[in-house]
Structure 1
Amino acid sequence: MPHEPGWFDEVLDWLGDNLPDILSFTAGLIGVVALLLSGPLGWGIATVAALMLTASGLSATALVLRVTDPEVQASLADGFTKGEFDADFWSNAVSVGADLAGVLPGLGAVAKGCKEATQAIRTGTQSLNAWQKASVYGSHSLEEAGRITRLENPLVAHVVRGCRDPEKAAKVVTAASGLTGVATGGYGLYNKAVDADDDGIKDGAVAGIDGSRVILDNGGIFGLVRHVF
């Protein structure tokens, strides 16, 4: 008789099937925690930078898993080649875009940090072993991550420029955007956990919310690119 999978096997299967969404949700949650720590709770910039790099790493893993998924590839290809811009296409497109957006700050910090570390090692007079060099690269990447977390998002700044306290309002908008992403991500995972029926209207609404959020969150991409290069 065939072996019936137990609950543990079912949980592992579910985790495997939904790993990209789980990683994206976790990255978003860590990002919101970083925003709260840098704002109302006032934690040190090193902690915030470390959280940002962690979130970017999770987003990078989720992005790789998505773009290598045949179903996601087929959905995106059908949209661009056959004009099938249905809820499934937009959901996948926004998910890929959100993961890419989560990768960019960490990627920029590592790129700029490695550049600064290489220059420091070349101009230094002390001979360093492999572990010491790795420490230099890590510390410079962390420093750059801290600088990137302090970069202004011009799009958010434009939105809140009429407020009485634009800096505080910008933090509120950014935090609200992050919380919205966590909420929509959690909603999607909940639906998959309870095997809810697919609803094109709900999926389209979630994709629309996340799409708008991704645009807002990436208003500072040009500032990030300028900072790195």
Structure 2
Amino acid sequence: MAQNPYVHLGWNPVPGQPGEVAKLRTQLANSANALQTAYEKIDKLLGESSFWEGDAAVGFREALDGDLPKYMKDAHTSLTQAAGHLGTWHDGLTSRRELAHKYDAEAADHKGDLKTANSRHEAAQKDPDLKLAGRTFTEGPELEAAQARLNAANDRLSDAVTAVNNAQGALDAVMRKARELEGTHEAEARALATALKDSTKNLAPEEPGWLSKALSWIGDNLTNILSVLAAVAGLLALLCTGPFGIAMLLAAGALSLATMASRLSDPKVRESLKDGVTKGEFDADFWENSVGLAGDLLGAVPGLGAVSRGLNGAIRSTINASEAVSAGQFLGRFADDTVTAANRITTAGSYNPVGNWVAQAAGGSQAVRVGMDYVSPVAGVLTSSYGLAAENIDALDSDAGKNTATGVDAARAGLFDGPAAFSIVRNTAAALR
């Protein structure tokens, strides 16, 4: 916190640094001048290009003409106005700071006077002659002398009280002026803010169109969007057969890896994970991010298994080939073997202990067993969709909702996706031997 330069007032009624304001004003003025120079050069080039004909000339004029010169001119006007407002604020700030220093000096003097007056008042109260009022004297010179001494002591006490009141009144008056100065300063600051805002009115380009807004929204919600897409692709891989199901299996793996990369690229996520590991801060954010990363990794396992087995098959085929294999042939074998491996993964299924237990409890029903395979993918679509919706709909954004979604995802990972991923990794490892 910056030190208060008005120690006798006790607070800073006019916060602000004239030097910083002057520096910003200079920067705005320089920027305005640069825009003006650029505008003049573009205008000159457009004028000189009138003698230039052909497609190149038309392209040149289209590149420089249109809204660009207008925006540059308007921006110059805006920055010039803003620099002028800051100049006015700088002068007013400097003047008010000088007045605040004057009040601070007066406050110091009045505090000194008040201290002196209080000391005088304390001494006058202790004057022994004041005690004469309670004593009895015989009439004559002795009584007259005592009365004179008592009157003098009372006069000194009265003068001391008057001095205290006067000093306190003067100090209160300068403090009141300082408060009024503070009010003026705040009013001027609000006026400056309004003036700076008005300086850009109708001067900036139009607001971004729907495409720009859509791209911005996607960037802000990329992790949640990828998570939803990965969950939907995983569900479609289970629902569909043939080439489309295989494509969805590979897409789910790629989208899960993309979700993980997007999640880890967020500094807040990395900081939350770091605090949990190094400081033991296992809060809701830590568990949400940890479970999310675990889910991303488990969702990528089927696709990674297929790609690993496909790459292994392509390498072995190339090694055992009787003649040289081109890059195109290698990639073709890699694609074919990956699709074959993905088809094996989708048709073979994966180990699902919870599904087996439930099916056995239901009398060994195959329909129940198959239905249990859909529990985790469907729940994944629901929790990921909730995460995306909660980020954009205030009514859905609650700690209870997020914690519930995290709990569901953790249960999916531990009871369904984890064992399934282990089964795929085990089978893949066996195939790579």
Deviations 1:56-89 (A, max 9, x none): 0011111111122211001111222222222222
For 2:284 and 2:208, how far apart are their aligned partners in 1? 32
Q: Is the 8 A contact 1:151 1:223 kept in 2?
A: no
CA distance in 1, matches of 2:318, 2:277: 46
Please provide the CA RMSD for this pair.
2.0
Q: Does 1:151 align with 2:354?
A: no
In 2 relative to 1, CA 146–85 (structure 1 residues): closer, same or farther, beyond 3 Å? same
Q: Does the aligned pair in 2 maintain the 1:157–1:166 contact within 8 Å? A: no
Q: What residue is the counterpart of 2:418 in the other structure?
A: 218
- Offset of residue 213 of structure 1: 1.0
Structure 1 outlier segments of 4+, above 6 Å: none
Q: Deviations over 1:194-220 (max 9, x none)?
A: 244742222111100111012222212
Contact 1:27 1:56 (C-alpha < 8 Å) held by counterparts: yes
Partner amino acid for 1:136? R
User: For 1:123 and 1:56, how far apart are their aligned partners in 2?
Assistant: 30
Q: How does 1:139-218 map to 2 (within 5 A)?
A: 139-149=336-346, 150-155=348-353, 156-196=355-395, 198-215=397-414, 216-218=416-418
**Partner letter of residue 19 of structure 1?**
L
- Report if aligned partners of 2:376, 2:412 keep a CA contact under 8 Å in 1: yes
Matches within 5 A, 1:1-229: 1=200, 4-5=207-208, 7-37=210-240, 43-44=241-242, 46-149=243-346, 150-155=348-353, 156-196=355-395, 198-215=397-414, 216-229=416-429
| 1:18 maps to amino acid | N
**What amino acid is the match of 1:20?**
T
Give 1:115 deviation, angstroms.
0.8
Distance in 2 of aligned mates of 1:14 and 1:55:
22
Q: What 5-or-longer segments of structure 2 have no aligned partner? A: 1-199
* Largest Rg, 1 or 2: 2
Give the whole-Å Cα distance in 2 for the aligned partners of 1:221 and 1:161. 22
- Summarize the Cα distance change of 1:11–1:196 in structure 2 as closer, same or farther, 3 Å threshold: farther
CA distance in 1, matches of 2:384, 2:344: 28
Alignment partners' CA distance in 1, 2:294 and 2:384: 14
Whichever residue aligns with residue 56 of structure 1, its letter is G
SS at match of 2:322: coil
- Identity percentage of aligned residues: 35
* Bigger shift: residues 184-193 or 122-131: 122-131
Secondary structure at 1:153 match in 2: coil
Instruction: State the distance in 2 between where 1:213 and 1:206 align.
Output: 11
Distance 2:363 2:322 in 1: 51
Structure 2 SS opposite 1:161: helix
Which letter does structure 2 place at the counterpart of 1:107? Answer: L
**Bigger mean CA offset, 131-140 vs 168-177:** 168-177
Q: In 1, distance between residues paired with 2:408 and 2:220?
A: 24
How far off is 1:6 after superposition?
5.1
Q: 1:174 touches 1:217 (CA, 8 Å); kept in 2?
A: no
- Residue identity opposite 1:162 in structure 2: A
Measured in 1, the distance between the counterparts of 2:283 and 2:310 equals: 41
Whole-Å separation in 2 of the counterparts to 1:17 and 1:68? 12
Q: Secondary structure at the match of 2:282?
A: coil
Which is further off, 139-148 or 161-170?
A: 161-170
**Separation (CA, whole Å) in 2 of partners of 1:177 and 1:222:** 15
TM-score norm. by structure 1 comes to 0.88
Q: Secondary structure at the match of 2:374?
A: helix
User: Which of structures 1 and 2 has the larger relative contact order (alpha carbons within 8 angstroms, sep 6+)?
Assistant: 1
Structure 2 CA distance, aligned partners of 1:196 and 1:131? 53
- Report Cα offsets for 1:147-190 as digits up to 9, x if no partner: 12223314233443333445432321121221111011111211
Kindly state the Cα deviation for residue 91 of structure 1 after the two structures are TM-superposed: 1.4
- How many residue pairs end up in the alignment? 223
